[in-house]
């Protein structure tokens, strides 16, 4: 992987109209979502839901689908319009004086924002941190409702893929494992979309 990437860059598997993000759930929620192509009533709209464009960061978070209540890994294809709307309406999850001025202003923005952004170290195949960042996008309130009802184009259970790649990594077959990873390219965004989110 290229370690010279910009520190804050959105990378994702995307088409002209969609972007793929990842989530992991317990089987009752994840399998039902994949089967129906949408989240069913077992999925809570009241909680913040975090979507991740990075497959490997999702693997780090869910332990390749082995962590409790994260055994089913989903690839959720959403509209590009929805993704950009969430970014435009997001607030950073931590206070940055150069962006927010005083802490009170940031807290007010955070309370009213329907989405929030964290930048965490990207991960390699061994799930070790890389020197550049990966976007995590939290959706609540209006953003969570739009995600569930408007933005989702399709949902795929990619747990078997995660298991296969993990097996190859454990066997030291890193080139073969890398060949199975979803292709994630820099996601084209106007500079103003991320200007308030670069920490």
State the Cα–Cα distance between residues 10 and 34, nearest whole angstrom: 25
State the Cα–Cα distance between residues 132 and 148, nearest whole angstrom: 30
| Ramachandran assignment for 53, one of left (phi > 0), alpha (psi -120 to 50 degrees), beta (any other) | alpha
- For residue 182, the 8-state DSSP code is P
Q: pLDDT digits over 14-48, tens only? A: 999 999 999 999 999 999 999 999 999 989 888 89
Mention every residue, 6+ apart, whose C-beta is less than 8 A from residue 102.
none
Q: Which residues of 83-114 are buried (b: 16+ CB within 10 A; e: fewer)?
A: bebbbebbbbbebeeebbeeeeebeebbeebb
Q: pLDDT digits over 60-104, tens only? A: 999 999 999 999 999 999 999 999 999 999 999 877 777 777 778
Q: Could you tell me what percent of the chain has a pLDDT over 90?
A: 79
């Amino acid at each position: 992987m290229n370690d010279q990437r910009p520190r804050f860059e959105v990378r994702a598997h995307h088409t002209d109209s969609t972007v793929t993000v990842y989530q992991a759930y317990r089987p009752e929620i994840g399998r039902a979502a994949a089967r129906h192509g949408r989240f069913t009533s077992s999925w809570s709209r009241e909680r913040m839901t975090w979507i991740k464009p990075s497959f490997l960061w999702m693997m780090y978070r869910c332990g390749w689908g082995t962590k409790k209540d994260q055994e089913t890994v989903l690839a959720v294809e959403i509209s590009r319009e929805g993704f950009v709307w969430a970014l435009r309406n997001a607030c950073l999850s931590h206070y940055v004086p150069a962006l927010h001025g005083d802490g009170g202003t940031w807290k007010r923005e955070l309370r009213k924002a329907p989405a929030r952004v964290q930048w965490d170290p990207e991960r390699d195949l061994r799930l070790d941190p890389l020197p550049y960042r990966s976007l995590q996008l939290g959706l609540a309130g209006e953003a969570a409702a739009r995600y569930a009802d408007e933005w989702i184009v399709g949902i795929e259970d990619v747990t078997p893929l995660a298991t296969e790649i993990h097996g190859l990594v454990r066997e030291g077959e890193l080139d073969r494992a890398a060949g199975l990873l979803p292709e994630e390219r820099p996601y084209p965004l106007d500079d103003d979309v991320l200007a308030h989110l670069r920490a």
